Amino acid sequence: REKDPHQTYFHQAASGLLEGLAPFLRNQPRYADPSLFARLLEPERVIIFRVPWVDDQGRVQVNRGFRVQMNGSLGPYKGGLRFHPSVNLDVLRFLALEQTIKNALTDLPLGSGKGGADFDPHGRSDGEIMRFCQAFMAELFDHIGSDVDVPAGDIGVGAREIGYLFGMYRKLNRSHDSGAITGKSPVFGGSLLRTEATGYGLVYFLQYMLQEQQESLEGRRIAVSGAGNVARYAAEKALAEGATVITLSDSRGALHAPNGLTQEHLETLDRIQEEGGRLHQLPEHHDGLTYESGIKPWRFPCDIALPCATQNELDEQDARVLVENGCRWVAEGANMPTTTEAIAHLVSHGVGYGPGKAANAGGVAVSGLEMSQNSLRHPWSREEVDRRLHDIMSRIHHKCLEYGGQGKRPDYVQGASVAGFVRVAEAMLRQGVV
Ligand code: NDP
Residue 318 CA to ligand 1 center (angstroms) comes to 19
Q: What is the pLDDT at residue 275?
A: 93
Residue 224 CA to ligand 1 center (angstroms) comes to 12
Q: What is the pLDDT at residue 367?
A: 98
Q: Which segments in the chain show pLDDT lower than 50?
A: none
Using most ligand atoms within 8 A of CB, pick from 12, 230, 291, 318 the residue to mutate for ligand 1.
230
Q: What is the pLDDT at residue 405?
A: 86
- Using CA atoms of 141, 142, 143, 144 in order, give the dihedral in degrees to the nearest 10: 50
Using most ligand atoms within 8 A of CB, pick from 9, 68, 250, 357 the residue to mutate for ligand 1.
250
Q: What is the pLDDT at residue 407?
A: 67
- CA nearest 245: which of 272, 269, 263? 263
Give the closest residue (by CA) to ligand 1 atom 10.
250
Q: Which atom of ligand 1 is nearest to the CA of 360?
A: 43
Q: Which atom of ligand 1 is nearest to the CA of 296?
A: 20
Distance CA 290, CA 285 (A): 11
Q: What is the pLDDT at residue 74?
A: 98
pLDDT digits (tens, 9 = 90+) for 98-121: 999 999 999 999 999 999 999 999
Query: Catalytic residue positions?
Result: 114
Task: Provide the annotated binding site.
Answer: 78, 99, 102, 153, 198, 229, 367
Distance CA 69, CA 151 (A): 10
Give the closest residue (by CA) to ligand 1 atom 28.
309
Task: Provide the annotated binding site for substrate.
Answer: 78, 99, 102, 153, 367
Residue 157 CA to ligand 1 center (angstroms) comes to 10
ipTM (interface predicted TM): 0.99
pTM for the whole structure: 0.98
3-class DSSP assignment, residue 305: strand
Q: What DSSP string runs through 44-107? A: SEEEEEEEEEE-TTS-EEEEEEEEEEEE-SSSSEEEEEEE-TT--HHHHHHHHHHHHHHHHHTT
Distances (CA, A) of 420 to 100, 104, 359, 389, 429: 8, 5, 13, 18, 14
pLDDT digits (tens, 9 = 90+) for 209-264: 999 999 999 999 999 999 999 999 999 999 999 999 999 999 999 999 999 999 99
pLDDT digits (tens, 9 = 90+) for 277-325: 999 999 999 999 999 999 999 999 999 999 999 999 999 999 999 999 9
Distance CA 251, CA 227 (A): 9
Identify residue 197 by its one-letter amino acid code.
Answer: A
Distances (CA, A) of 276 to 57, 124, 269: 19, 9, 11
Residue 305 CA to ligand 1 center (angstroms) comes to 16
Residue 426 CA to ligand 1 center (angstroms) comes to 32
Name all residues whose Cβ lies below 6 A of ligand 1: 153-156, 158, 198, 226-231, 250-252, 308-310, 313, 333-335, 360, 363
